[in-house]
Amino acid sequence: MAKKEIAASANNNKKLRTKELIYAGAFGALYIVLMLVIVLGTSMIPILYLLAPITVGLVCGTVYMLCVLKVRKFGAALILGVLFAICACSNAWFSFVGALAAALLAELVIKLGKYRSKKMYLLSFVVFNLNMACPYMMLSFARDSFLKRSVEYYGQEYADGIEKIAPTWIFFPILGFALIGGILGALLANTLIKSTLKKQG
Amino acid sequence: MYISVYGEDRSALVRFDSRTKFVIFISSLAVSANSFNATAHEIYCVVLCVMLFLCGKKWNAVKMSLLLGTAVYVRTCMEMQATGSTVVVTIISFILTIFLYCFPILMSLLIITQTTRINQFLSAFQAMHIPTRIVIPIAVMFRFIPTVGEEWTGVRKAMAFRGMSLEPSVIIRHPVKTVEYILIPLLFSCISIMEELAAAALARGMDSDNARTSYETVHLRAYDYITMILFIAAGIWFFATGMVTGGAA
């Protein structure tokens, strides 16, 4: 019944309505809170801090999937991406743009599936999760200023620590982590949603 | 820390407009990202605590400033001493750094979520003729962050009642199970709240294209303008000095 309703509203009106805007905003809050909890909880160990794209992708995949499956129109992933970018990627303009680009690409992937194909929805999260790599862009592209800032603000030890665990090419492994996190998150979301829907009947 | 779902400003000393609070939030994002001057950063954090105090959450403001003071004190002590095992020092300074880095964002989120009602937020932005498609997601996000926290406590209590603990060792041993046990109840309780929220919004005619009226009268007063100008100036100053340092390197 719910599915029929969604399908009908998607046919009638391509634009997002208030209800869907509320869903998108609320899922955005969920996504951001979960992300902050995970990142702050794991960042005590520097290695886990760099692995955050995997852990966040694993957990937030389900949130993302429920959001786009509930709205099924252009804009859900984009709003989620914008809210994410505002809260997490404001450290440099290129991370902000990168996060927005990831969200737009995810929208495109969903559009390729014509807002119906489940595989495309799952694939879109893999693309969407690339935005987790964007806050780390500082480490590669603005490395000098980042390190200098760390020395002035956080002290030499911290900067040395960062320099040790994060070489210049660190961005590419992180991009890879984001991809892996996206795949794992999509798979987990698939099984979780399937099993809970079955339980609910 | 108890976060009330609905922000209230009855005990506020100065009633700031929600737009001012939003400017503070944006400015804090810029400061967090570009701060490299420790003293200026600390002054900014103290100003945020004062703002929270003025907005009426006096006890929280005192608590947060005590936390801030402790963090700065410990960090200064560690810098002055420069002894102790490197591993411990690195880990502690990493935690402190993350805390201080997030402090402005956390404080401005507290200011928005604890002392602004969602209808104030909506009517303030509607007065600026910003389309509802932009305002609603942002307003709902700020409204929903405390709700997620509340639901999270509820889920944790329910899990404890059933004898499932959420200790780190358990999370490490069964990561997927833990995710399932926390995430699914959290998600579904949040979804039911979203549906109620959407129904309430529909019942109040948010879907119509007509201009909404509101009980709230929103005015920008002189102190709003002064605060906004100060915070924008602070944000730009942090941004500019950050750029200069980056350019020189």
Query: Could you report the per-residue pLDDT of B64-80, keeping only the tens digit for each?
Result: 999 999 988 888 887 77
**According to the model, what pLDDT value does residue A3 have?**
54
Judged by a CB distance cut-off of 8 A, whether residue A13 touches chain B is no
Option in A25, A58, A145 nearest B138 (CB):
A25
What does A55-68 look like in DSSP terms, one character per residue?
Answer: HHHHHHHHHHHHHH
pLDDT digits (tens, 9 = 90+) for B138-170: 888 888 888 888 888 888 888 888 877 777 777
* Rounded Cα distance, A32 and A84, in Å: 7
Name the pLDDT band for A153 (thresholds 50, 70, 90). Answer: low
Residue A173 neighbours by CB under 8 Å, 6+ apart = none
**According to the model, what pLDDT value does residue A149 have?**
64
Mean pLDDT of chain B: 81
**DSSP character for B11?**
T
Q: Which range, A90-99, A145-154, B23-32, B36-45, has the best average confidence (pLDDT)? A: B23-32
**According to the model, what pLDDT value does residue B247 have?**
40
Q: What share of chain A is helix, strand, coil (3-state, %, to 5)?
A: 85, 0, 15
Residue, of B197 and B32, whose pLDDT is higher: B197
Residue B130 phi, psi (nearest 5):
-85, 130
**According to the model, what pLDDT value does residue B66 have?**
93
HSE on the CB side for B22, CA within 13 Å?
A: 17
Q: Give the number of residues written for chain B.
A: 249
Q: Please report residues of A whose CB lies closer than 8 A to that of B242.
A: 145, 149
* Rounded Cα distance, A30 and A162, in Å: 30
Mean pLDDT of chain A: 79
Mean pLDDT of all residues in B212-240: 84
Q: Please report residues of A whose CB lies closer than 8 A to that of B201.
A: 18-19, 22
* Rounded Cα distance, B56 and A184, in Å: 44
**According to the model, what pLDDT value does residue B159 have?**
84
Residue B246: pLDDT over 60: no
**According to the model, what pLDDT value does residue A119 have?**
84
CA B32 centroid distance within chain: 13
CA A53 centroid distance within chain: 8
Mean pLDDT of all residues in B201-212: 77
Best mutation site among A145, A151, A187 for testing chain B: the one with the most B CBs within 10 Å? A145
Residue B36: pLDDT over 50: yes
Can you tell me the ipTM of this complex?
Answer: 0.78
**According to the model, what pLDDT value does residue A201 have?**
44
Residue B245: pLDDT over 60: no
pLDDT digits (tens, 9 = 90+) for B107-122: 888 888 888 887 788 8
Q: Which range, A138-142, B42-46, B93-97, B172-176, has the best average confidence (pLDDT)? A: B42-46
Residue A96: pLDDT over 70: yes
Judged by a CB distance cut-off of 8 A, whether residue A166 touches chain B is no
